[in-house]
Amino acid sequence: MLATTRRVNCEKCGNHTVNEVAKTLTPATHGQGGEFLVQLSCEGCGHRQRFWRYTPRLSLK
């Protein structure tokens, strides 16, 4: 499982104190798209959010 981390602004308090972690749950293949989980956690106000994103399947080029 691959994971990436970056800092973004909090939608609740507006501070640049949110850690965004995206973890690959299912990698994209030629037969199906991929899925990853995104978790947001603000160090300033404690706001937390979790959602899933989907990627298209790989092209045959």
> What are the counts of helices (DSSP H) followed by strands (DSSP E) for the chain?
0, 4
Please, what are the domains in the chain?
Answer: 3-55 (2.20.25)
pTM, two decimal places: 0.79
Is residue 61 pLDDT above 90, yes or no?
Answer: no
pLDDT digit string, tens, across residues 1-55: 678 899 999 999 999 999 999 999 999 999 999 999 999 999 999 999 999 999 9
Contact partners, residue 25, CB within 8 Å, separation at least 6:
1, 34, 35, 36, 37, 52
Contacts of 5 (CB under 8 A, 6+ apart): 19, 20, 21, 22
